[in-house]
Amino acid sequence: MMHIDVISVMPELLEGPFAHSILKRAADKGLLQVEVHNLRDYGLGKHRQLDDYQYGGGAGMVMMIEPIAKCIADLQAKRTYDEIIYMTPDGETLDQGIANQLSLKGNLLVLCGHYKGIDERVRQLYVTREISIGDYVLSGGELAAAVLVDSIGRLIPGVLGDESSALTDSFQDGLLAPPVYTRPADYDGHKVPDILLSGNFPKIEEWRYEQSLKRTKERRPDLLSED
């Protein structure tokens, strides 16, 4: 079983994403366990303080190192992590290759940032990988963590009903997925391509590859090698 721990200032933001759909199915099958830990439990003083003004001045509060260090220490006492991941806009951009890599791990720890970010020493002392889900800034790392966990969880063998489903997703082979159709075969004069109704599976696969290549050239030419 894969185990993913998530450290968050606002764990309630993750209740929905982890309690439904594919991730719930993975948990029910005993293939993935996701636990969200409230960093506030490790806050300092009677007010459970988590942030403070940044040295040198400037707008925005910074998450302090001590609560994060205490939380990580508690979790590391229970298990050894393959990666400690910090969700941050200046990390490497999440793609299918990263999701594939992480889906092969056993234990992951994901830290969600908040406010102006975390004390740099957390990144230096604990974090082994920094991941972004895009070139934009969110109010916190929770939504990014949900995206990361979902992209990993669906790749775990046995989670999806059809093992080949994940292998035909966009980006798995460096191309976008081809068009897909279902019933009816004719909707108000808009028909499903004849090849998909032919039963000639080698030809269907050839058509799908051609459509994937065409769609990638049109929409994401940056994915195609210049060689």
Q: 48-68: buried (b, 16+ CB within 10 Å) or exposed (e) per residue?
A: eebbeeeeeeeeeebbbbbbb
Q: Which residues pair with 109 in a beta bridge?
A: 5, 84
How far is the C-alpha of 32 from the C-alpha of 107, rounded, in Å? 10
Q: Is the pLDDT of residue 227 over 80?
A: no
* CA dist 130 → 75, 117, 158, 165 (Å): 19, 13, 28, 28
Average pLDDT along the chain: 93
Percent of the chain with pLDDT over 90: 83
In the chain the domains, ranked by start, together with CATH numbers, are 2-153 (3.40.1280.10), 170-223 (1.10.1270.20)
pLDDT in tens, 113-158: 988 999 999 999 999 999 999 999 999 999 999 999 999 999 998 8
What was the pLDDT predicted at 226?
Answer: 58
pLDDT band at 161 (very low <50, low <70, confident <90, very high): low
**What is the dihedral sign for C-alpha 52, 129, 169, 214?**
positive
pLDDT in tens, 25-39: 899 999 999 999 999
Residue-wise DSSP of 122-136: HHHHT-SEEEESSSS
CB 41 within 8 A of CB 144: no
Q: Is the pLDDT of residue 7 over 90?
A: yes
Q: Is the pLDDT of residue 214 over 60?
A: yes
Q: Is the pLDDT of residue 169 over 70?
A: no
Lowest-pLDDT choice from 38-42, 159-163, 193-197: 159-163
What was the pLDDT predicted at 25?
Answer: 87
How far is the C-alpha of 138 from the C-alpha of 75, rounded, in Å? 26
Q: Is the pLDDT of residue 163 over 60?
A: no
DSSP character for 206? H
